[in-house]
Chains A and B, each alone.
Chain A
């Protein structure tokens, strides 16, 4: 479709701009020096995973569970969005770990923010596993919707972990509750971070369009396979009658 292709090009352009700004145009940080260049990846991937992907999965799950709005579309959308979320939360953990090694001196520490994010990763891996358990489509969709909503309860814990507990992880760069309207990041560094968030949001939209189309095609194939299996069973059941005659 033309819209998806346009979105794809817009995504490529903004991602390329983000890379140039983050790696070449922005200055090094006064404290973290060049390691700050990982911020322009870490924050956008976390935004896409935690708030966008898992948020859409939760919303679609609620819409599926609510009888008035129940539609297979919500179930497919929830699954598609969760898969993208798992990829991006994995990247958030990986880039965070690399950033931790160069700033804290360790690849991993059992800090509240890191631990709750790792738990979120495992919870949504479990959600994807639940979707693969063979069952009738409605039963599978109901199980997945409940697990998807329950898993999202960890998102506010991840978000507030840095304020509720004493953590090694720094507070929010843009949306710290203590510095709303006066973030600790300024100028080209702030704009590059905003551009990165925009680029990854577009990437999420493009990925979701494709993953949703794939999910819809998988569902159609599953239906066709079911119909074929029923026809085969029907033919088998008719065979002894034909032999008896």
Chain B
């Protein structure tokens, strides 16, 4: 399967980018919720 590296790269890049965005979003959301004294139990 000569296309394998490209398929791996495409799916890998997508998973990494979405994972990083979700992680950053949840971290920021938790930090602000704590700062504002809101409950932090929504993720």
Contact = CB atoms under 8 A, between A and B. Distances in A.
Interface of A: 1, 4-5, 8, 19, 23, 33-35, 37-38, 41-42, 45, 87, 90-91, 94-95, 98-99, 101-102, 203, 207, 210-211, 213-214, 217-218, 220-221
A214 B32 contact: yes
A95 B9 CA distance: 8
Contacts of B42: 1, 4-5, 210, 213
A214 B33 CA distance: 8
Contact of A98 (B9, B29, B33, B36): B9
A128 to B, nearest CB: 14
B7 A35 contact: yes
A58 B40 CA distance: 30
Nearest to A42: B10
A106 to B, nearest CB: 13
Contacts of A210: 25-26, 29, 42-43
Interface of B: 1, 3-4, 6-7, 9-11, 13-14, 17-18, 21-22, 25-26, 28-29, 32-33, 35-36, 38, 42-43
A211 B10 contact: no
21 contacts: A8-B43, A33-B3, A34-B7, A35-B6, A38-B10, A42-B10, A87-B21, A90-B17, A91-B17, A91-B18, A94-B17, A98-B6, A99-B6, A102-B3, A207-B21, A207-B22, A207-B25, A213-B29, A214-B32, A217-B32, A217-B38
B3 A211 contact: no
A211 B28 CA distance: 10
B43 to A, nearest CB: 7
Nearest to B12: A98
Given A34-B1, A45-B14, A220-B36, 18 more contacts: A1-B42, A4-B43, A5-B42, A19-B11, A23-B7, A34-B4, A35-B3, A35-B7, A42-B10, A91-B14, A98-B10, A101-B6, A102-B3, A207-B21, A210-B26, A211-B25, A217-B29, A217-B32
Contact of A41 (B11, B22, B26, B35): B11
A43 to B, nearest CB: 12
A218 B26 CA distance: 14
B25 A221 contact: no
Contacts of B28: 214
Q: Which 8 A-B pairs have the closest CB atoms?
A: A102-B6, A217-B32, A34-B3, A35-B3, A98-B10, A38-B10, A95-B10, A214-B29
A4 B39 CA distance: 14
